[in-house]
Amino acid sequence: MGATMTEAPDAFLLSIFQKSGISLGSVAEAWERSEHLYPLLGWLTASFPAPSAFDICAEWLRRCAERIDGGAPVAALFARARDEGPRQAHVVAGALGDVRNQSILDGKPAVAAFADGASDLCEVWAAVTTNEADAETEAWARAKSASAAMVTALLAQRGQDAQAKAAARVELTGLLRLARATVASR
């Protein structure tokens, strides 16, 4: 389901919605009206290495961390990836994987899922920025994985079951939309 090398993120995003029977006329309309976290996050990761795309991800993770007990260090670690540089961002992604593993051992499933999602995003940014993207770091696929992890994190934090999944996805999409607007207004 990855975008082809010749297909722009905008065209691919709109085609995902069209294939699902949702007709949107522009990417701006998709960002304004969509309640679907995955395609929007996919568009964002496919927009790497644009600095604004990283800023939006960092801002989104910061906002998400406010809803997940113990999540602030995860968001801070992701944000540090840019300061460390793209080559070291792979190390940061590994450190996020370590946070995930430790959180599992500590019985903190929300933080574990949050770190997993942040690690996916960090790996994509590092790979795209260093021109080392491959099948494992394909932006759209990793964004889909990160979206699922983030919904799981929010549900685990709240102790809610799968029926709350749609509401969590809508809430996370709203946070992503807010993060995008915040970065655009800077």
For 101-152, the pLDDT digits (tens) are: 999 999 999 999 999 999 999 999 999 999 999 999 999 999 999 999 999 9
Q: Is residue 115 part of a domain?
A: yes
Q: What percent of the chain has pLDDT over 90?
A: 85
Tally of domains within the chain: 1
Cα gap 122→126, rounded to integer Å:
6
Burial (CB count <10 Å: 0-12, 13-18, 19+), residue 113: buried
HSE value, Cβ hemisphere, 13 Å, CA-based, for 5: 5
The pLDDT, as a whole number, for residue 2 is 43
What's the pLDDT band for 159 if we cut at 50, 70, 90? confident
Q: Is residue 90 part of a domain?
A: yes
Instruction: Supply the angle between the helices 139-158 and 51-65 in degrees, to the nearest 10.
Output: 10
- Average pLDDT value for the chain: 93
What's the pLDDT band for 61 if we cut at 50, 70, 90? very high
Q: Is residue 91 part of a domain?
A: yes
Q: Is residue 48 part of a domain?
A: yes
Q: Is residue 22 part of a domain?
A: yes
Neighbours of 71 (CB within 10 A): 25
Q: Is residue 4 part of a domain?
A: no
Q: Which residue has the higher pLDDT, 56 or 88?
A: 56
The pLDDT, as a whole number, for residue 160 is 79
Q: Structure tokens of 124?
A: 């994509």
Burial 142-174 (b: 16+ CB within 10 A, else e): bbbbbbbbbbbbbbbbeeeeeeeeeebbebbbe
Q: Of all helices (H) and strands (E), which one includes residue 50?
A: none
In which domain, by residue range, is 127 found? 9-184
Would you call 106 helix, strand, or coil by DSSP?
coil
Q: Is residue 1 part of a domain?
A: no
Residue 74 has pLDDT above 80, yes or no: yes
